Chain A
Amino acid sequence: MPGENHPILETKDLNIAYGTLEAVRHINLSIPEKSITAIIGPSGCGKSTLLRAFNRMNEFIASVRTTGMVRFREQNIYETSVDVVSLRRAIGMVFQKPNPFPKTIFKNVAWGPRINGYPGSLQQRVEEALKKAALWDEVSDKLDQDGLSLSGGQQQRLCIARTIAMEPEVILMDEPCSALDPISTRRIEDLLFELKQRYTIVIVTHNMQQAARVSDHTAFMYQGELIEYGPTELIFTRPKVKQTEDYVTGKFG
Chain B
Amino acid sequence: MTAVTQPSLKGRWRFGEILIQTGLFLCAIVSVLTTLGIIWVLLSESFIFFREISPLAFFTGLKWAPLFEPRHFGVLPLISGTLLITLGAAIIALPLGTFAAVFLSEYSDRKTRQILKPILEILAGIPTVVYGYFALTFVTPLLQKLYPEIEVFNAASAAIVVGIMILPTVASLSDDAMRAVPGSLRYAGYALGSTKYDVSFRVVLPSALSGIVASFVLALSRAIGETMAVTLAAGATPKLTLNFFESIQTMTAYIVQVSLGDTPAGTIEYQTIFAVGLTLFVITLLMNFLAQKLLARFRERYD
Contact = CB atoms under 8 A, between A and B. Distances in A.
A116 B194 CA distance: 9
A97 B194 contact: no
Nearest to B197: A115
Contacts, number: 64
B194 A85 contact: yes
Given A101-B203, A102-B301, A103-B206, A95 B193 contact: no
A153 interface: no
A115 B193 contact: yes
A11 interface: no
Contact of A92 (B183, B187, B191, B206): B191
A86 B184 contact: no
Contact of B193 (A85, A97, A100, A159): A85
Interface residues of B, number: 21
Nearest to A97: B184
A88 B198 contact: no
Contacts of A60: 183, 186-187, 190
Contacts of A116: 193
B207 interface: yes
A92 B198 CA distance: 16
Chain B interface, DSSP helix/strand/loop, else mixed: helix
Contacts of A162: 188, 192
B195 interface: yes
Contact of A99 (B187, B194, B195, B198): B187
Most chain A beta-carbon neighbours within 10 Å: one of B191, B195, B202, B207? B191
Contact of A88 (B182, B183, B193, B203): B193
Given A57-B191, A88-B193, A166-B192, A115 B198 contact: yes
Contacts of A102: 185, 206-207, 301
Nearest to B302: A102
B301 A88 contact: no
A55 B193 CA distance: 10
B206 A99 contact: no
Nearest to B198: A115
Interface in A32-61: 55, 57, 60
A62 B109 CA distance: 10
A211 interface: no
Interface of B: 110, 182-195, 198, 202-203, 206-207, 301
Interchain residue pairs A-B with the least CB separation, the first 7: A89-B193, A93-B191, A99-B184, A88-B193, A99-B188, A112-B192, A85-B193
